[in-house]
Amino acid sequence: MRSELVKIDRKFLWSLVALVAIGLVMLISASGPLGYQKFHDAAYFFKHQILVGVLPGLVLFWIFSRIDYRRLAQFAPAALIISVALLVLVYVPGVGMKFGGSGRWVNLGIAFQPSEFVKIFFLIYVAAWLEKRHGEDSKTLEKGLFPFLMSLSIIMFLLIMQPNTGSMAVIVGAALTAYFIEGAPLGWFFGLGATFTALIVLLIKMTPYRAQRFLTFLHPELDPSGIGYHINQAYLAIGSGGLFGLGYGHSRQKYLYLPEAAGDSIFAVMAEEMGYIFCLGFLVLLGYFIKQCFSIAKRAPDLFGRFLATAFGAWILIQATLNIASMIGLMPITGVTLPFVSYGSSAFVALSIGCGIMASISRGSELWRG
């Protein structure tokens, strides 16, 4: 096993280990008050993350790192079917579950969030589809853009109906990034970008809660005890941290003031306890990890590996940007988690599968660099 690990891109591997370690350390602190209130166990969420997220994630990382990633391309049609089926499950009575007004969960003996696994399954499908149509086919409307948009639109529709706009943005952005490096005409992306923006505007106008979120983004001071409560508490947490933070474990906002302190808002707790300098270091580490993902894509020995690794790197980049930008007021709160840091077993397991595939791609590279 040691010899197999040596073949994996070590910079990718060690930056991944560092991100997971930081995530677990922050989770212990951020989740303590809520765990004690709900379960009389301050370590409840940490232990749950270890048992249901980290341990299965490690096993799946090892399995997928050992599998020849090229075999996954054979299952691309099944990956698309699985993606659609998972998203449809949330609407099945007795299976789908709602939390906070959103139907994003299913219970099949184990509760999990299907959209997290769709991120990896659908990107496998996209990578294999792009490899198959590499060349002129991908640059035509009939064989390229229209079929691509058809499959993407199905996923988008099912996510919008949950509603889960954040995950939709991550999947769409990652898929379009892979399509872009395939060489699709640049004009298409301007058109798709304008269309996607128009869709978001339409969703905001059609759904009151999205309109309220957008209004809060523009004017967070208007309703600080209502719809603006979340972002204002995040501002208080981040603003209290200063350069060096209040000290690990000394967050005040995590004591049931800041919503989702261990989930979507964990970056705010990190800023409050550890300070701006630590957060800057975290961002550098995260950026380095993403850079290694794109480096693996560049060295991939085939097009499938190149497209899949690029899509995975874009996934992490887009999701982290959405999460952090929403906490510091650069965009509305989206409800997406901070990769490798936020509480969530579904997210961690899906990321572990993705990282295992990335490790397999790096092992298969003929341009290996130590």
Phi, psi values for residue 105, rounded to 5°? -120, 155
Tens digit of pLDDT for each residue in 317-331? 999 999 999 999 888
pLDDT band at 139 (very low <50, low <70, confident <90, very high): low
Check if the beta carbon of residue 25 is closer than 8 Å to that of residue 343. Answer: no
Six-digit token string for 313: 């790197």
pLDDT band at 366 (very low <50, low <70, confident <90, very high): very low
Of the candidate ranges 173-182, 211-220, 239-248, the one whose mean pLDDT is the lowest: 211-220
Q: What integer pLDDT is reported at residue 164 of this predicted model?
A: 85
Tens digit of pLDDT for each residue in 62-102? 999 999 999 999 999 999 999 999 999 988 888 877 765 55
Average pLDDT of the residues in 220-238: 80
Report the sign of the C-alpha dihedral through residues 282, 284, 290, 295, in that order. negative
E strand spans, 63-220:
96-99, 102-107, 111-112
pTM above 0.85, yes or no: yes
pLDDT at 230 > cutoff 70: yes
Contacts of 19 (CB under 8 A, 6+ apart): 285, 286, 289, 339, 340, 341
CA atoms of 261 and 92, how far apart (whole Å): 30
Q: What integer pLDDT is reported at residue 215 of this predicted model?
A: 67
Most confident of 15-19, 191-195, 365-369: 15-19
**DSSP secondary structure string for all residues of 277-344:** HHHHHHHHHHHHHHHHHHHHHHH-SSHHHHHHHHHHHHHHHHHHHHHHHHHTTSS----PPPTTTSS-
pLDDT band at 126 (very low <50, low <70, confident <90, very high): very high
Of the candidate ranges 188-197, 249-258, 291-300, the one whose mean pLDDT is the lowest: 188-197
Q: What integer pLDDT is reported at residue 368 of this predicted model?
A: 38
pLDDT at 1 > cutoff 50: no
Average pLDDT of the residues in 303-310: 95
Nearest CA to 308 out of 238, 360, 262 is that of: 360
Six-digit token string for 206: 């059609």
pLDDT band at 54 (very low <50, low <70, confident <90, very high): very high
Higher local confidence (pLDDT), 263 or 364:
263
Q: What integer pLDDT is reported at residue 5 of this predicted model?
A: 47
Q: What integer pLDDT is reported at residue 205 of this predicted model?
A: 72
CA atoms of 356 and 301, how far apart (whole Å): 17
**DSSP secondary structure string for all residues of 113-157:** -HHHHHHHHHHHHHHHHHHHTTTTGGGSIIIIIHHHHHHHHHHHH
Phi, psi values for residue 113, rounded to 5°? -105, 105
Residue 231 burial (CB count, 10 A): 24
Q: Pseudo-torsion of CA 19, 20, 21, 23, nearest 10°?
A: 90
Q: What integer pLDDT is reported at residue 7 of this predicted model?
A: 75
Six-digit token string for 271: 């800023």
pLDDT at 370 > cutoff 70: no
Q: What integer pLDDT is reported at residue 333 of this predicted model?
A: 81
Convert 236-263 to b/e letters by CB count within 10 Å (16 or more is b). bbbebbeeebbeeeebebbeeebbbbbb
pLDDT at 369 > cutoff 50: no
CA atoms of 19 and 9, how far apart (whole Å): 16
pLDDT at 57 > cutoff 70: yes
Average pLDDT of the residues in 150-157: 91
> Please, what is the average pLDDT of the chain?
87
CA atoms of 308 and 82, how far apart (whole Å): 17
Phi, psi values for residue 70, rounded to 5°? -65, -25
